[in-house]
A = this chain, B = another copy of it.
Amino acid sequence: MAIEIARGSAPLSAGLSVAGSRAFVHSIGHGVNEYWMSLALAQADLAANAGEVPVGCVIVDAEGRAVGVAHNARETSADPTAHAEVIAIREAAGKLLGWRLEGATAYVTLEPCAMCAGALVLARVARVVYGCADPKSGAIDTMFGVGRDARLNHRFDVVSGVLADECALRLRRFFGTLRGAKLPTTTE
């Protein structure tokens, strides 16, 4: 799946230039970060419908194309590494025919854990935009500083809090629904 947005001379946000989709961007009352995050939120909804912790991720390449779109699938795939970010990274690398996602931005609804933040470093993404913080496992701002630590051979820019309420609402609703059945031990 590759969503290509029209590009032109009217940059709405650093690193992305969106002219053709300006009307749409205005119609949702936000900017480019919120546009892509809303697609990541749609992925989170798909995860919840499948009984998975609702986390979604969209990776947008340097040309403004969505090259990785995924949601958390740990339970359905019985794979502890099947977080939204890792699946999206693998999809993007497959599309771009290489492991370097240079210039790419990852939009993810929840602050990435150590595995995912580490994978984003290894993939050389330029920017990570996330929704709500993860007080239990977040590895960029909450713990560790993965992606920010000056000792790493690659770091990325970070934007946090984009559509944070909507992102957190999905998680609260999911765990609220689950509470009667089982108590989660972690957010993802």
Minimum C-beta distance from A157 to chain B (A): 18
The contact size tier of chain A is: 35 or more
Among the listed B81, B89, B115, B185, which residue makes an inter-chain contact with A80, where contact means beta carbons less than 8 Å apart? B89
A78 touches B97 (CB 8 A): yes
Contacts of A139 in B (CB 8 A): 114, 118, 144, 146
Minimum C-beta distance from A146 to chain B (A): 5
A86 touches B81 (CB 8 A): yes
A99 touches B79 (CB 8 A): yes
Interface residue ranges of A76-106 to B (CB < 8 Å): 78-83, 86, 89-90, 93-94, 97-101
Minimum C-beta distance from A41 to chain B (A): 23
Among the listed B86, B115, B185, which residue makes an inter-chain contact with A114, where contact means beta carbons less than 8 Å apart? B115
B80 touches A99 (CB 8 A): yes
A122 touches B78 (CB 8 A): no
Closest to A135 in B: B151
Given A89-B80, A93-B79, A122-B81, A149 and B143 contact (CB-CB distance below 8 Å):
yes
A151 touches B143 (CB 8 A): yes
Contacts of A124 in B (CB 8 A): 80
Identify the A interface with B (CB < 8 A).
74-75, 78-83, 86, 89-90, 93-94, 97-101, 113-119, 121-124, 136-137, 139, 143-146, 149, 151-153, 185-186
